[in-house]
Amino acid sequence: MPEYDLTIDVRRHPVGATVVVLAGELDYHTAPRLHRAVERTAEALPLVLDLTLLRFCDSLGVAELIFAFRRTRAAGTSLALVGTTPDVGRLLAMTGLDRLLPRHESVDAALGALRPDG
């Protein structure tokens, strides 16, 4: 992938959630793209951010994760993270976001946790 590359794939999951798959680098150059993608998701649906393929995240990327969390909370729904790499996991731990944002090993596990019967 070229420098500053971020791929964002937004999918509506049949269980009634939006899954956003991120691949590449979430940083100063690419964070605004995630912001716009999150803004375009249905507010009433839970949001799952799949970070399995995210190689790098800086402070602006963290700010966008917080934006997504606040947006879902304001809408009365929830946010879950999937598949954080060791580097991204350390960043979440250093910022305290690991205590705020639930993390799961797979999209299916996250979706199961978002359902009332999950």
Q: What is the distance, to the nearest Å, from the Cα of residue 18 to the centroid of all Cα atoms in its chain? A: 10
Q: What is the tens place of the pLDDT at every residue in 20-49? A: 999 999 999 999 999 999 999 999 999 999
Mean pLDDT of the region 85-108: 91
Q: What pLDDT score was predicted for residue 23?
A: 96
CB atoms within 10 A of CB 23: 17
- Percent of the chain past pLDDT 70, that is, above it, reads 93
Q: Which domains does the chain have, with CATH numbers?
A: 6-107 (3.30.750.24)
Could you give the CA distance from residue 47 to residue 60 in angstroms, rounded to a whole number? 19
pLDDT at 117 over 60: no
**pLDDT band for position 113 (cuts 50, 70, 90):** confident
Rg over CA atoms, the chain = 13
Question: What predicted TM-score, i.e. pTM, was given to this entire model?
Answer: 0.91
Helix or strand run (H / E) with residue 92: helix 86-95
